[in-house]
Homo-oligomer: A and B are copies of this chain.
Amino acid sequence: MGIKIGIITSSDRAAANVYEDISGKEIIRTLTEYLTTPWEPVYRVVPDEQDQLENTLMDLCDNAGCCLVVTTGGTGPALRDVTPEATEAVCQKMMPGFGELMRQVSLQYVPTAILSRQTAGIRNQSLIVNLPGKPAAIRQCLDAVFPAVPYCIDLIGGPYLEANQEVIDVFRPKK
């Protein structure tokens, strides 16, 4: 079985086809640039409903066997922003360092970066990472946290991901 990476767009409007999902496609494009190891995206668009998000996260981790699931959207303070809650509900371990670093990086661009509640966590052998909804912020956040992602996946027993070091400076500590 090949390496699979889940991409979930949480957006009422994208799910209703009111507009095109640019954010999810931006994630796929960025990961394609990063990774030299062959991989296959498992791509879903869901409305901002916590139970649907949780079911999709579990499906991509448990059934599709994704070693990494990246979400976009639903991390703000509004009533229907429920991605962090869905992520926490399906994870055994939370990884606060991801959200801290992504907010810190986004703060270099906009002071409203503190409104993002994005987080990350571990479900069994899958790493789940929330990204912001805006395409420009997606690349900034992925560039910041992705250097630690392959080693994290090593530590939870996932596949060995290799990256194009000219595009993204992936790091693994020496034993």
CA distance A98 to B98 in the complex (A): 16
Q: Decide yes or no whether A93 CB sits under 8 A from chain B.
A: yes
Please state if A107 and B101 are interface contacts (CB–CB under 8 Å): yes
Given known pairs A103-B97, A103-B100, the reply for A145 and B114 (CB within 8 Å) is: yes
- Interface of chain A residues 112 through 157 with chain B (CB within 8 A): 112-117, 122, 127, 134, 145, 147-148, 151-152, 155-157
Q: Decide yes or no whether A95 CB sits under 8 A from chain B.
A: yes
Interface size on A, residues (CB 8 A): 41
What B residues does A78 contact at CB under 8 A? Answer: 155-157
CA distance A113 to B98 in the complex (A): 10
Please state if B99 and A117 are interface contacts (CB–CB under 8 Å): no
Please state if A101 and B114 are interface contacts (CB–CB under 8 Å): yes
Q: Decide yes or no whether A38 CB sits under 8 A from chain B.
A: no
Please state if B101 and A99 are interface contacts (CB–CB under 8 Å): no
Which A residues have a C-beta under 8 Å from some C-beta of B?
76-79, 81, 85, 93-101, 103-104, 107, 110-117, 122, 127, 134, 145, 147-148, 151-152, 155-157, 169, 171-173
Output the least CB separation between A85 and chain B (Å).
8
Please state if A155 and B115 are interface contacts (CB–CB under 8 Å): yes
Nearest B residue to A146 via CB reads: B111
Please state if A115 and B99 are interface contacts (CB–CB under 8 Å): no
